[in-house]
Structures are given as C-alpha cells and as structure tokens.
Amino acid sequence: MGLPSFVRLQLRSLQPTYDDASNPWKLLRNLTKQQWKFFLIGFSAWTWDAFDFYTVITALPSLSVEFERSQARITLFVTLVLMLRPLGAAIFGLVADALGRKRPFIINCVLLIVFQLATGFCQTYEQFLAVRALFGIAMGGLYGNAVTTALEDCDVRARGLMSGAYQSGYPFGFLLATAFWRAFSHTPHGWRTIFWFSAGFPVLLIIFRWMMPETDKYEQRRAIRHKGSNMRGSISDALRGSAEHWRLLTYLVLLMAGLFYLTHGTADAIPIMLSTQYNLPSHKITTIQVTAFIGAILGSWISGYCSEIFGRRFCMILLSVIGGALLYPYAFAPLPGVYALAFFEQFCVQGIFGIIPVYLMELSPPAYSTFIVGTSYHLGVLCASPALTIVTAIAGRYPLDPEGINYSMAICIFMACVYVYVIVIASIGPENRKPHLAEANMDESEEGDDQLRGGTYDISLWTGAHKGRPRY
C-alpha cells in the first residue's frame, strides 16, 4: 500500500522553481494600453461587485430597524445570494465562452444597476429578500467574465502580479463600502441612499466596455471555431465541452471551498468575538476590520507577484503554514496587538486568494475559462456558506460563563483544520504556470479545435481531455 501514483507525482512536482524575477515596476510599465484597459475594466467590475455586496452588510442594523426583523433574519439574504451565485456564474459563463465577453458583461452590469436601485425602493422584508436573491444571479455572473477580461490578454510575465492586483479589488470594495456608508448613512433617506448611489458606477462600466473590443485571445479562438454555428449551437458546444472537464471542476470547487472557509472563518467571526468577549465598541471593531483589509490588499499584490517566481501552489502552502501559525495569537491577542495580528492574518488569507484568479485561468481550458473560473469560484462560496454557523456551534461547547461562548477557541480549532485541508488539497493539485494566457511558442491557428478543448496542456489527468500519464 502507498500513495496513488498521481498523488506521488503531484507531491514530487511541488517545489519552488525560483524563476528569474522581473522588477514589478518594469512589468507594469511593459503592459500595453489595451492590456491596461482590459485589466482596469475587470478590476473595477470586481471591486464594485464587492462594494454592492458589502453595502448590505454595513447597513444591517438600519435594515433590521426598517423591516422590523432581527439581524439574524435579515442575513437570510446572504444565504439566498450564495445559493444563486453559482447559477449566475454558469449561465453567464457559458454565454461568454460561446458568444464573447462583451455583451454578457454589459447585460450583467445592467442587472446590477436594476437590482441595486430596486433594493433602495423595497418597502417590505419580502421584497428585499426577492431583490437580493436576484442580485445573487447577477453577482455570480460577473466574476468569471471580469477575470477573463482582466487577465486573458495580460503579458505572461506580469500575470501573477496582475492576478494579485485584481483580487485586491475585493477587500478594496469593502473599504469603499465602509467609507461611503459613513458618508451616506446620515442623509434624509438613510440606508437607501447608498444603494441608489452604488447603481451609478456600473453605468460608467457599461460605457467603458461598450467602447472596447473583445479580447484578442477570444477573437483568436473564435476565428478557428467551426464557421456558421448559431447561438444555440455555440452554447451547446460550450456546455458539452465544459462537462468533459468535470474532474478539473470538482478539484477547483474543493480547493475554493477550503479557501472560502478560511476567509469566512477568520474574518466573519472576529467582529462577533470582539463584541461579545471583549466588549469593544463598534468604531474600534470597524478600525480593526479596516486594518485587516489593508493587510489583505497588500497580501494579494505581494503573493501574486511571488507566485510567478516560486510557483502557485508553493506560495499557497507557505501562506497557509504562516497563517495557521498566527491563529492562536490572532484569536487571543489583547487589544493593542490585535491590529497587527489581524493585518498579518488577512495578509496570509487574502494572499492565497491573490493567486487564485491566475491559477484558475491557467488550469481552465481557454474555450471554457469563463464558465470554469466563475462556476468553481462560486460553488466554493456556496460550500463554505455554513462557516460562521460551524464556528458558533464549536464556540458553544467552550463556554466562558453560563451566558457566554468562546469564539477564540472555536476559531483556533476549526481554522487549524481548514488550513490543514487547504495544504493537502493544494499539495495534490495540478499546476500549469507556463500555459496559454500569452503563449509565445504556441500558434492557436495551427492547434485547431483540439487546443480549444484544452488537450495540449499538461493537466490531462484533471481535464480528462487525454488518456495517458500527465507531464510535470
């Protein structure tokens, strides 16, 4: 008995490669204007997607008063959004892979505008839940398209750095939501104002995207598709081709589930812990959260760049080890020290996420990248949706007193298990770090439809595209 052969191969391949590092400022300068435009539109869309989501989180107390429901009842919207995000990712991903990135992106932004405006006009709790559930479909559809738009044409040498920059849009969206909530919460219309305001920025995204063409990589793939295919045939081909890669999709969902348990387990329970165990006022909790998300932004940038030098999985595992080592002081630190520990813990957690956009893109067959990237990401979110519930349940078994629960111990126990899980999953996973985003040595017109199905890459064990032993 022993480890399966493919596991041994994966573990053997898990080592830092120490590729030559380029000056990050030089990498940024070498990007063309077109590449910068595509990146900025993807980054801006993802940032505002996060902003839209966090507007409800920040407005939670006001919504509870407005609709005369407990905050626990109001947070039901989170479950509905999480449940419908994979549906939006699948629908918009298939359409984007079959018919282009541009039109689905614009439709997605239009839906975000409609649902944000509608949220501001909701008069009942039931209306609010219905609108936010529909918002989940639009939110789910945007991620995969934004990633492919931002990174598909990116210079191969800069894609790790730009992946981290792209993912930093998520914590940046949280910071914007926090800042604008403080600006708008005291206006005559209260919480409704921030939703109406948030519906304005996607108009600029629509105009910007309308003026831009399809990405070069998509145009190249479209040129070698079978001519004369209609919309139904294109989507049918995309759906059939995506189903061929179920092994890869399953692996990515398992990885993303572990990562989202990390982010929800280390971030969502901390405000509750600081409030119930340490009795901190809300403004101090907000300051700690802002400090943590600043660390998250820096972690995304730095780890994305380092993954280009040392490898994607190696950096994920290293950050998981460091983050796991920080768990105990992070959960039990006294007030002055919690700022630094929150900064570095989220530096590690979101540092892993900074690698994810390019990692998902590199593993996804180009013809189905939007579908696989978006669907795996949001199915991982859905799988991790019980994270806060699990932490709370564990905390209830370690009471501080008859009326309290120990969130610190629960965070340490549960998150240590999650870190181990992420290390194991990353260790046995594939890596395709020199592939197809900016191929210098690959002519797509010569590779033909076989390349469209991902058959020429060294991840055949996971995609099922070829039989035989994968190369590492």
Tens of pLDDT, residue by residue over 40-66, are 999 999 999 889 888 877 777 788 788
399 burial (CB, 10 Å; 0-12 / 13-18 / 19+) is exposed
Task: Give the N- to C-terminal CA distance of the chain in Å, as an integer.
Answer: 24
Nearest to 46 by CA among 152, 144, 146, 140: 146
460 versus 346: which is more confidently predicted? 346
Domain contains 17:
no
CATH number at residue 282: 1.20.1250.20
Q: How many domains does the chain have?
A: 1
For residue 295, is it within any domain?
Answer: yes
332/318: higher pLDDT: 318
Tell me how far apart the alpha carbons of residues 436 and 109 are, in angstroms, rounded to a whole number: 28
Contact partners, residue 39, CB within 8 Å, separation at least 6: 31, 150, 151, 154, 162, 165, 166
Query: Where residue 242 falls among pLDDT bands split at 50, 70, 90?
Result: low
pLDDT at residue 218, rounded to an integer: 86
Percent of the chain with pLDDT over 70: 79
> Residue 340 is part of which domain span?
33-220+233-463
Per-residue pLDDT tens over the stretch 420-430: 999 999 998 88
The answer as to whether 389 is a domain residue is yes
Q: What is the pLDDT of residue 470?
A: 35
The per-residue pLDDT of the chain, averaged, comes to 80
In a domain, 156, yes or no: yes
Question: Higher pLDDT residue, 237 or 425?
Answer: 425
Residue 255 structure tokens: 């990885």
65 inside domain: yes
What's the predicted TM-score (pTM) here? 0.83
3-state secondary structure of 15: coil
Average the pLDDT over 271-285 and give the result.
77
Q: How many CB atoms lie within 10 A of CB 402?
A: 5
Rounded Cα–Cα distance for residues 282 and 286 (Å): 6
Least confident segment among 78-92, 105-119, 223-237, 260-274: 223-237
Q: Which residues contact 336 (CB under 8 A, 6 or more apart)?
A: none
In a domain, 228, yes or no: no
Q: What count of Cα atoms within 13 Å lies in the side-chain half-sphere of residue 343? A: 10
Least Cα distance to 143 among 177, 101, 181 occurs for 101
> Is 325 a member of any domain?
yes
Least confident stretch, 206-210, 366-370, 389-393, 401-405: 401-405
pLDDT at 223: 76
Centroid of chain to Cα 108: 17
Stretch 173-181: mean pLDDT: 86
Please tell me the least confidently modeled range out of 48-62, 204-218, 358-372, 443-457: 443-457
- 15 domain-assigned: no
> In residues, how long is the chain?
472
Long-range contacts of 332-339 (CB under 8 A, 24+ apart): 332/408, 332/412, 335/278, 335/280, 335/284, 338/274, 338/288, 339/287, 339/288, 339/291
Query: What distance in Å separates the CA atoms of residue 191 and residue 62, rounded to the nearest whole number?
Result: 7
Q: Give yes or no for residue 431 having a pLDDT over 90.
A: no
